[in-house]
Homo-oligomer: A and B are copies of this chain.
Amino acid sequence: MAYPQQSSIQTTFAPFSFWNRRRTVVRKNTLLYQLSVLKKTGRYDAFRLKWHPIYDDEDPLNWPVPKHLFWDSDVAKWIESACYFLREEHDKEIDDAVQELVEMIGKAQQPDGYNAGHLIEAAYIHHLHYQNDLLLRPITKYISLLSQTFGPGPHQIHGYPGHPEIELALLRLYSITHEPTHLSLARYFITERGNPHGVDGKHFYSAEAEKRGEKLMERQNPWPKCRSFWYMQAHKPILEQDSVEGHSVRAMYLLTAVADLVRLDEESKNYSGNANGNDSAITTPNGGTQTTATPYRDPLHRLWHNMINKKMYLTGGIGAIHQWEGFGIDYFLPQGTSSGGCYAETCASIGVMMLAERLLQIDLDGKYADVMELCLYNAVLTAMSLDGTKFTYVNQLASSEDEEGGKDGGAGDGGNGGSSLSKREAWFEVACCPPNVCRTMGILGGYVWSHGEDEGGVFVNVHLYTSASLEFQAGGGQKKVELKQESNWPWEGDVKFELKTSSDIPVTIRLRIPAWAEGYEISPSLPSATTIQKGYLTLPPSYTSHHRTFTLSISGFTPRLIRPHPYTASDIVAVARGPIVYCVEDVDNPWVTNHFRDVAIDTSVPLRLLEVGEKIGGKEEEEYVAIKAPGAGVLLEKEAEEWTLFGGGKKGGDGKDKEEEGRRDLVFVPYYARANRGGKGMMRVGLRVMR
């Protein structure tokens, strides 16, 4: 089963499509912009291995990690992004930079660094694009060293990385090298993780800390208490973990690797028996069912569901806590710094997309694609300005005044690019997010659909709607299959399909019906009563052979109110339409003060779409559908200073809101489009419901 990194090349986005517009911005602006920053900040030249004063930082932001230790990952992700886009369209400046970087990396070869993962991913696509081994060779050599160093043997270190990433990269690399050590090293890192007695009867990290001479109470800032190994998902073996904990990016990268290991093991039947009956109805990508599972399937699903049900924001963001850039307790999801937390790092939601995509490969269930789409259009897309040159790292759901980093998860950390205002930055000291968005745009086609072939013919599972075409070979390269979709997604729900095959090969197409859809129609209609199986509508060969063009109409594009789980104890609703989650900004609601904290919404007022002529944005590629709620904005009396605990703010309190005179219109724009048009940086997704 192909990885998006691999299959994305088979997809071409139509020129007028939403995603082609966004990807063109990345190709034309972002790649070159990021290259200039890599050079300016010293990251580019780091591979020359010459000492530079900037490396000599005695008080690094992320003690005990010196700041340059993960610079290679920034460069690696940029190389990776560049290769994806170079495959589509040549660019001399970008091409030259890739070649120079690769030459430097080759010369710099030595065993070091924990971000080997991103270098492996870059090496993989570099190999495919340049058809040479100039990057792959030093990387596989590096992996050999790692394989010798880490493992179960008596003279090996029984360890694993602090920041998972190499595992998922090794598994993907294995799919082209079929080199057993690539699989076994990944497996070792996954299974050894969290072993309480791995090194001389001690936890690996404890043993390492002792070796470094660290005292028990000496610990890095992200750890609230000493030895907070849950920060890196190593508090216990993955098989025993019940809830998703710690640094959210690490958790997602780790689980993506676990999912891929499950897929590999189940494909090769490389496991013993059915671990548990819980997942008896697994749907394989070709629509079959599978009733056995590897032991890692249970924790994988357990942790996924814990996250989706209890630890995910309405935008698809994850991670409420600033201190460890990760998960809080169940249902702890404040919207921003001023209400006690919200991190929702860009990379973390990219990680959710990665994990969802792998999960779809082992169990074709629309619930994974729903979350993947939610993250893509909201928590991830919001991280890049419409012109592709400014970024966010933290993606809060409500702004607040910029202050000294809060104690309770405030995001005001300059080093990590956090700001409590809704605003974008040119770059970050820890710069993982901008190139990560870039490479996600690079491989986006691979997320849109997946396909395969079995005894019944060819199948295509369509996860996302846009305007694009997919083209691939089947029948041992003898037959060509092309599927084209055309739509005005995410603004309208009609998707027109056209299927072309060079022969009479049977084609099954499965179309995702989103969870938020109010209904759907397929035209021409299916002959018999159809049911949706786990979120997908199946068009069998009998249908596709008769109807080479057909249209899916999804309804659900009238604005709707969404709200977080009642256990979040939040008195809020947000506006959504189709896959898009909306927010209010001070640019469109200039009467606002205090970051909409004094504003409630009267939910009895109907939401209406702004007409096309009222679209906000100006340039065509920046157009989006806005929503207006005339007179729904309720200003609450400013009673902060006179509030008392004795009568609910007023004597004889009845628990009702005290409303100031004069209703206001509320104008909503897509969350992803926030912080693009100036303003004071005031923004909010969830508004208090008027009582």
Contact = CB atoms under 8 A, between A and B. Distances in A.
Interface of A: 63-64, 215, 217-221, 224-226, 305, 308-310, 312, 314, 316, 321, 323, 328-332, 334-335, 337-340, 367, 370-371, 374, 406-408, 410, 514-518, 560-567, 569-573, 576, 597-598, 603, 636, 639-641, 643-649, 651-655, 657, 688-689, 691
A562 B647 contact: yes
Contacts of A561: 648, 653-655
Contacts of A218: 215, 217-219
Contact of A329 (B340, B515, B567): B340
Given A514-B646, A643-B309, A653 B215 contact: no
B562 A597 contact: no
A332 B321 contact: no
B653 A563 contact: yes
A563 B649 contact: yes
B655 A603 contact: yes
Contacts of A305: 641
Pick the most buried of A408, A571, A576: most chain B CB atoms within 10 A of its CB.
A408
A406 B339 CA distance: 19
A321 to B, nearest CB: 7
A573 B655 contact: yes
Contacts of A335: 569
A514 B646 CA distance: 9
B573 A572 contact: no
B643 A560 contact: no
A338 to B, nearest CB: 7
B515 A651 contact: yes
Nearest to A213: B215
B566 A636 contact: yes
Given A332-B339, A646-B515, A655 B219 contact: no
A131 to B, nearest CB: 43
A634 to B, nearest CB: 11
Contact of A328 (B367, B408, B576, B688): B408
Contact of A644 (B370, B644, B689): B370
B215 A566 contact: no
A328 B651 contact: no
Contacts of A329: 337-338, 340, 406-408, 410
A648 B563 contact: yes
A217 B214 CA distance: 10
Contact of A562 (B226, B339, B645): B645
Given A225-B221, A645-B316, A328 B340 contact: yes
Given A370-B644, A603-B654, 4 more contacts: A516-B646, A516-B647, A518-B651, A573-B655
B328 A332 contact: no
A569 B334 contact: yes
Interface residues of chain A: helix, strand, loop or mixed (majority): loop
A420 to B, nearest CB: 11
Contacts of A337: 329
B407 A224 contact: yes
A496 B260 CA distance: 78
A271 to B, nearest CB: 27
Contacts of A367: 644
A408 B321 contact: yes
A572 B643 CA distance: 16
Given A215-B218, A328-B340, A323 B518 contact: no
Contacts of A603: 654-655
Contacts of A640: 309-310, 565, 567
Contacts of A644: 367, 370, 515
A571 B573 contact: no
B560 A516 contact: no
B562 A653 contact: yes
A652 B518 contact: yes
Contact of A569 (B331, B647, B657, B688): B688
Nearest to A656: B603
Given A219-B219, A370-B646, A688 B566 contact: yes
Q: Which 6 A-B pairs have the closest CB atoms?
A: A571-B571, A516-B646, A218-B218, A573-B655, A561-B655, A515-B646
8 contacts: A64-B217, A221-B225, A224-B323, A334-B569, A370-B644, A408-B408, A567-B597, A571-B571
A566 B516 contact: no
A305 to B, nearest CB: 8
A142 to B, nearest CB: 30
Pick the most buried of A64, A316, A597: most chain B CB atoms within 10 A of its CB.
A597
A405 B330 CA distance: 14
Contact of A560 (B573, B641, B653): B653
A224 B323 CA distance: 8
Nearest to A654: B561
A316 B517 CA distance: 47
A560 B340 contact: no
Contacts of A309: 640-641, 643
A506 to B, nearest CB: 33
Contacts of A645: 308, 312, 314, 316, 371, 374, 562, 564
A225 B413 CA distance: 13
Nearest to A409: B408
A348 to B, nearest CB: 15
A648 to B, nearest CB: 4
Given A226-B221, A374-B646, A597-B567, A652 B560 contact: yes
